[in-house]
């Protein structure tokens, strides 16, 4: 057992040293970071550092299958405004904790055996499997939890986008120009989603882009299709001379319908989850009632 524990602890220590080496590698220059900030990049994109090295390692291990996974992860980090380096550090910590935990438990139990008496001892193979399972649970569990949090953040942003489009349509109907209406609607709202929209529009003014392009870029970066489609539709309506107010109103209605459908699906899922304990309790009660008859039948036939 000591050899297996030493091998696992050595592997974990080697992985830690590898991550330190990757973190000490050169990142982007200050000029590149300032340029990305002006372009509106989020904290997950401005200073990749060790995160970029980890992504290169992941692409080397998984090959082409890593591209979609990394794109989805970047969007999740961007919508949560979570730096990629910090999240990768937390993920690595969880994986290391899950790996070292079973080994540490076996070592502590073996050390306390002379004091508290012998207890159940796991074999080397079982301990190794537990360490691998714990590490995998920590590694993949971090990504699952990231996706779950990002889905909740997108739901909040989707609601804000519907309100924002309604406000912009009202401003256009009141005689404001499209660009002014987009800016006025962003300034009229409150909360973190409207702050992000205002920041995107302000960044577009600095880089001499239109508000539509800024919203489309923001939607692509955070993985929000509604915001991305709004920017593309508004740019198309401006080029083709379509009524801007009608375009905004139609997009607001489409976002509201999609949001309502999502809420209904979530409500149905919660209803099924709430009914599951009742079904299990009823099944257990039926088994409890049937047990005497089954036991008597088995005794009779035996």
pLDDT tens digits along 269-281: 777 777 777 778 8
Q: In terms of residue numbers, what domain contains 249? A: 154-258
| Residue 184 contacts residue 201 (beta carbons within 8 Å) | no
Report residue 165 as tokens.
């489009």
Asked if 172 and 248 count as a contact pair (C-beta separation under 8 A), the reply is yes
Average pLDDT over residues 196-202: 89
pLDDT of amino acid 17? 43
Number of domains in the chain: 2
Q: How confident is the model at residue 233 (pLDDT cuts 50, 70, 90)?
A: confident
pLDDT of residue 7: 47
Please check whether residues 13 and 102 belong to one and the same domain.
Answer: yes
Q: Indicate the helix (H) or strand (E) that contains 98.
A: helix 84-116
Interhelix angle for 178-188 vs 192-206, to 10°? 140
Do residue 158 and residue 103 come from a single domain? no
Q: 243: alpha, beta or left, given left = phi > 0 and alpha = psi -120 to 50?
A: beta
Q: Distance between CA atoms of 207 and 217, rounded to whole angstroms? A: 13
Does the structure show a pLDDT above 80 at 123? no
Is 146 part of any domain?
Answer: no
162 in the same domain as 92: no
With 0.85 as the threshold, say if the pTM is over it: no
What per-residue string of b and e applies to 81-118 under the rule 16 or more CB within 10 Å gives b? ebbbbebbbebbebbbebbbebbeebbeeeeeeeeeee
């Amino acid at each position: 057992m000591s050899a297996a524990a030493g091998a696992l602890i050595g592997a974990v220590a080697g992985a830690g040293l590898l991550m330190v080496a990757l973190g000490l590698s050169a990142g982007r220059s200050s000029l590149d970071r300032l340029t990305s900030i002006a372009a509106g990049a989020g904290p997950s994109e401005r200073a990749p550092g060790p995160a970029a090295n980890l992504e290169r390692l992941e692409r080397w291990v998984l090959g082409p299958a890593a591209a979609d996974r990394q794109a989805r992860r970047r969007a999740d980090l961007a919508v949560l405004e979570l730096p990629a380096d910090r999240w990768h550090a937390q993920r690595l910590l969880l994986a290391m904790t899950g790996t070292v935990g079973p080994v540490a438990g076996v070592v502590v139990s073996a050390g306390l055996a002379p004091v508290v008496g012998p207890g159940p001892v796991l074999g080397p193979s079982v301990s190794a499997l537990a360490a691998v399972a714990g590490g995998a649970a920590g590694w993949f569990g971090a990504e699952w939890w990231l996706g779950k949090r990002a889905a909740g953040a997108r739901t909040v942003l989707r609601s804000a986008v519907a309100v924002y489009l309604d406000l912009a349509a009202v401003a256009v109907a009141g005689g404001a120009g499209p660009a002014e209406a987009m800016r006025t609607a962003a300034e009229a709202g409150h909360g973190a989603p409207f702050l992000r929209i205002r920041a995107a529009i302000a960044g577009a003014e600095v880089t001499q882009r239109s508000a539509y392009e800024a919203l489309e870029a923001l939607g692509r970066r955070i993985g929000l299709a509604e915001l991305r489609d709004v920017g593309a539709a508004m740019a198309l309506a401006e080029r083709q001379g379509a009524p801007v107010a009608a375009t905004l109103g139609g997009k607001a209605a489409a976002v509201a319908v999609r949001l309502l459908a999502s809420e209904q699906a979530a409500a149905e899922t919660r209803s099924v989850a709430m009914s599951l304990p009742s079904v299990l309790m009823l099944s257990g009660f039926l088994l409890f009632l049937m047990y005497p008859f089954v036991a008597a039948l088995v005794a009779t036939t035996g």
